[in-house]
Structure 1
Amino acid sequence: MFAPLLKKLFGSKNEREVKRMLKTVQNVNAFEEQMVALSDDQLRAKTEEFKARIAKGETLDKLLPEAFAVAREAGKRVMGMRHFDVQLVGGMTLHEGKIAEMRTGEGKTLVATLGVYLNALSGKGVHVVTVNDYLARRDANWMRPLYEFLGLTVGVVTPFQPPEEKRQAYAA
């Protein structure tokens, strides 16, 4: 009886989540001018700066707005692709361990770069799982220039690889 009224007043759970994340998107956007002004070397150096800040106790959640701004600017420079605000929301969703449904052409591969970059800063490694070997290779190779610009390494693991190749890929 009250559920429809409450939903009308406060929105659905998903609507509330998106609203919460849009506040963080504003924080990411606030860094954009600063990131644009950096040279490529200065932008690349942000990765080591972030790692040092994590070593001193800063959390990934605290770093998220600035790290996403770095990844966005790097994507623009290296790939010619700038993450849209809705893609930033997708990156936050992945970082929080949730899933988001996106249609073909909405930028799933680019969205993944945000969560990958942020979580790789912890030094623990990040694994991106996709539905088949072809997409795994394609997406890894497609985004490799962006990841490498940001100081990350890339490997692809497929079922029929020799064990040594798998070890190397997992070490990336």
Structure 2
Amino acid sequence: MRALLQKVFGSGNQRQLKNLDKTASEIEALEPSMQQLSDHQLQNKTAELKQRYQNGETLDDLLVEAYAVVREASTRVLGLHPYNVQLLGAIAMHHGDIAEMKTGEGKTLASTMPVY
């Protein structure tokens, strides 16, 4: 019975990964609008996000836009573009989970997003 339920609904890890992937897709969807911002406008996003947080929005509310800002800044400043696997790791860290990533998958780059 348990095997049947797991086959129908998936394991807990599969469900969690599906939720993380949905959030990563939302971040990726903001890429074109972030690319259109000037460097100054991108910098101003930080002040805007801080103000929205002070006005009562939660970190979860701001996560998608904040990570999109960090992703674009990383691409411009470091020349390193965070990919889906790094977004997944960053989102997991934001939720207080441990994300296992292999050597070379960008753990350091992934950690910049939750710190922001």
TM-score range, shorter chain: over 0.9
Aligned to 1:138: none
Q: Secondary structure at the match of 2:57?
A: coil
Aligned-partner Cα distance in 1 for 2:26–2:103: 28
CA deviation digits over 1:92-143, x for unaligned, max 9?
A: 10001111111111100000001111xxxxxxxxxxxxxxxxxxxxxxxxxx
1:114-153 alignment, distance < 5 Å: 114-117=113-116
Aligned to 2:92: 93
> Among the aligned pairs, what percent are the same residue?
53
Aligned to 1:81: 80
More helix by share: 2
CA-based RMSD of the aligned residues comes to 0.8
Unaligned runs of 5+ in 2: none
Aligned-partner Cα distance in 2 for 1:54–1:6: 40
Aligned to 1:19: 18
CA deviation digits over 1:137-163, x for unaligned, max 9?
A: xxxxxxxxxxxxxxxxxxxxxxxxxxx
Q: Secondary structure at the match of 1:38?
A: coil
Unaligned runs of 5+ in 1: 118-172
* TM-score, normalised with respect to structure 1: 0.66
Aligned pairs, number: 116
Structure 1 position 28 matched with structure 2 position 27: yes
Aligned-partner Cα distance in 2 for 1:62–1:26: 15
| Structure 1 stretches of 4+ moved >2 Å | none
**Residue 22 of structure 1 aligns to which amino acid in structure 2?**
D
Aligned-partner Cα distance in 2 for 1:86–1:3: 30
Mark the structure with the bigger radius of gyration: 1
* TM-score, normalised with respect to structure 2: 0.96
